[in-house]
Chains A and B, each alone.
Chain A
Amino acid sequence: MRRAPSVILIVAAVVALGLVPVLAPPFYANLLVPFYGYAIALLGFNLLFGYGGLLSFGHAMFLGLGAYGAAVIAGVWGIKEFEIVLIGAALAGLVVALPLGWLVVRYTGIFFGMLTLAFGMLTHSVLFKFYHLTGGDSGMRVPRMRLLGLEFAAYNKIELMAGPFYYYCLALMLIAAFLMWRIVHSPFGLHLRSLRDNAQKALYLGVRVHQFRLAAFVISAIYGAIGGAILGFRTGLADPELVYWTHSGHLVFMTVLGGFSSFLGPIIGALALTLLQDQLQSYTQYWRFVLGAILALVVIFLPRGLAGLAADVGSFLSSPRRRPGPVQLPEHSQPGVLGPGLRRDDVA
């Protein structure tokens, strides 16, 4: 629906993001690099949560995997090509997620959330306790890497982040988003949504439930690992906090803030939280309280997130003669409806 204006909006947004390093001080471009990491990770996360109806509360483990993967490949083995690191991180995500997913996709709802949380905390305790392998709580250093074989020796770390690496990540996010768009709108994506809405009926119709959920889990893990590799390069460090359960909670937070029932929701959420957190931290040391309050308000009053709000405002403005304001709570807020309950026209 309304394909034309949204394409214009997306192009405008990409152009605006592309202009940030040119127009704004390097601080802002540097600030946005983690946003790209999170955006890529959340695109994958939302395949599982928004489209698959599976809430993982241990997804930060794959971000950790990517960051530690970068630390091992570039730091320990000395292969300082970021492309190889990305491929390595993706492979690591694949290798870990296959057996893990095979175990966890047999469960849904709260059991899926608890199992992923348990695996996440298991990973955290391994990273935290096995000091000689992982550096314990001080983590592992992620060295500076080459991009597309170029050294960028004239740039210091901030200039590299705010210049070449910024555009690199922007391109990476666009590729990741395009691929995810194709995945979501393929028959596979349709199968996944049917599993979310009514797994029993889908099974009856011949959908291979576990295989499809496993595929979604693995794809989301690969996206998570790639996002984690970006975060690792940005901070120059892979530490166990990346894998702690509260970080997984933050991933869910961003997704819900942006709106999990919309394709671009997670990206909007990642951007909103990155900017918000930066602003809040400069105003008050009690920024967690404000974030928590915002999360509570979004959960209670805006279950479809910022993207849902934007869609409501958009449809209100474009059709003034319609009855004012769509109902605030969509159907999934009603009892008895399982899963996040996406509205068809929100994704089309």
Chain B
Amino acid sequence: MSAFGNILLGGIFHAAVLFLVAAGLQLVFGVQKIVNLACGSFYALGAYFGITFVTLALKAGMPQWTLLPLLLVAGAVMAVVGPPIERILRTVYDRDESFQLLLTFAMVLMFQDIIRFLWGANPTSLDNVQLVYGKIVAGDFIVPVYNLLVIAAAIGAAALIGLFLQRTNYGRLLRATAENRTMAEALGVNVRGIYAAVFTLGTLLGTVGGALVVPTAAASLDMAVEVVIEAFAVVVIGGLGSMAGALAGSLLVGLIRAGSLVFYPEFEILAIYLIVIGVLLLKPSGLFGKPAA
């Protein structure tokens, strides 16, 4: 029972971080119709900068309990890479989607070396901070409070994004642009501004996701390309462009990964990809996506 509880919570924690990255991917795809392979690089960037930022802040005398706010700030600061990259992507908005995909792949290659240049090739981690908020122990059942806080933060982010998209004026403009760019533009929506805002928000979700994960796992150069394929699995399962789909997909992927790691490690990624292929073949629009035109 307790083992089951630990697996469940581990899976949900993983899902929470994955949701943030996948939500960024979804947002950019939903509005700009670009599959952004660089979302994993933003995640890695957030993670590395989070480590540096927290280490410096703690050394400067910030109290330990500010860890979570510090990480959120670090993630938010790193979102500054969003606008310049959006500016580069703007050159290919009108081109074939394979060009857009390739340009983001070029970003993946470049960011990998930028990170290597700034932080070195060895994995880096933030030591002894995961337990600053204590842990909850019930028999064999142990969970750091930090993990619960991150799960709560992800739920909060999901709720905020939902409110923003559904209830605010800007959210409505955004959905209108996603629905029909030409019509929105004709009606006077500043599409260029919306694209820049959406891409920056997508970047922010990635960098914050990366920053939040570092107290529990080391940051490594491979994390960018690894998280991309998982986030990609999430959005395919959930349905491209759908936020509800990102939520359901990340829960599914997080739980399957955690479960198979315990019961049958060989099937970790295999199980996820079997589901991805099943979904693509049976219902290519995903669980929550609109049918492809």
Contact = CB atoms under 8 A, between A and B. Distances in A.
Interface of A: 49, 55, 57, 103, 107, 109-111, 113-115, 117-119, 121-122, 124-126, 128-130, 244-246, 249, 252-253, 256, 285-289, 291-293, 295-296, 299-300, 303, 332-335, 337-341
B1 interface: no
Contacts of A110: 35, 97, 101, 240
Nearest to B284: A111
A292 B103 CA distance: 9
B292 interface: yes
B94 A288 contact: no
Given A107-B284, A288-B110, A289-B114, A249 B105 contact: yes
Where chain B touches its partner, the secondary structure class is helix
A125 B276 CA distance: 14
Q: Which of B94, B99, B102, B108 has the most CB of A within 10 A?
A: B102
A119 B278 CA distance: 11
Nearest to A334: B94
Nearest to A338: B96
8 contacts: A110-B97, A121-B273, A125-B268, A129-B267, A249-B102, A292-B109, A333-B95, A341-B96
Given A118-B273, A119-B277, A253 B117 contact: no
A118 B103 contact: no
A129 B95 contact: no
Which A-B residue pairs are the 10 nearest by beta carbons? A292-B109, A289-B113, A292-B110, A295-B106, A125-B269, A296-B106, A122-B273, A129-B266, A286-B113, A335-B94
B101 A113 contact: yes
B98 interface: yes
Q: Which of B109, B233, B273, B280 has the most CB of A within 10 A?
A: B109
A117 B232 contact: yes
B44 to A, nearest CB: 14
Interface in B6-56: 35, 37
Contacts of A286: 113, 116-117
Contacts of A124: 269
A36 to B, nearest CB: 24
A40 B106 CA distance: 24
Nearest to B266: A129
Nearest to A54: B98
B268 A340 contact: no
Given A114-B232, A293-B110, A126 B270 contact: yes
B96 A332 contact: yes
A118 B113 contact: no
A295 B98 CA distance: 13
Bin chain B's interface residue count: 35 or more
B105 A339 contact: no
B107 A333 contact: no
A121 B229 contact: yes
Contact of A296 (B88, B97, B280): B88
B148 interface: no
A224 to B, nearest CB: 18
Interface string B259-289: 0000001111110011011001100100000
Given A122-B274, A129-B269, 9 more contacts: A110-B35, A113-B101, A119-B277, A121-B229, A129-B267, A245-B225, A289-B112, A335-B94, A340-B96
Interface in B85-139: 88, 91-92, 94-99, 101-103, 105-110, 112-114, 116-117
Contact of A303 (B35, B99, B110): B99
Contacts of A333: 94-96
Nearest to B95: A333
B236 interface: yes
A49 to B, nearest CB: 8
B109 A289 contact: yes
B269 to A, nearest CB: 4
Interface in B198-251: 225, 228-229, 232-233, 236, 240
A340 B88 CA distance: 21
Nearest to A256: B102
Contacts of B277: 115, 118-119, 122
Q: Which of B98, B107, B117 has the most CB of A within 10 A?
A: B98
A303 B269 contact: no
Given A288-B112, A292-B106, A55 B101 contact: yes
A110 B101 CA distance: 9
B103 A296 contact: yes
A122 B270 contact: yes
Given A110-B35, A121-B269, A300-B91, A293 B106 contact: yes
A332 B267 CA distance: 42
Contacts of B232: 114, 117
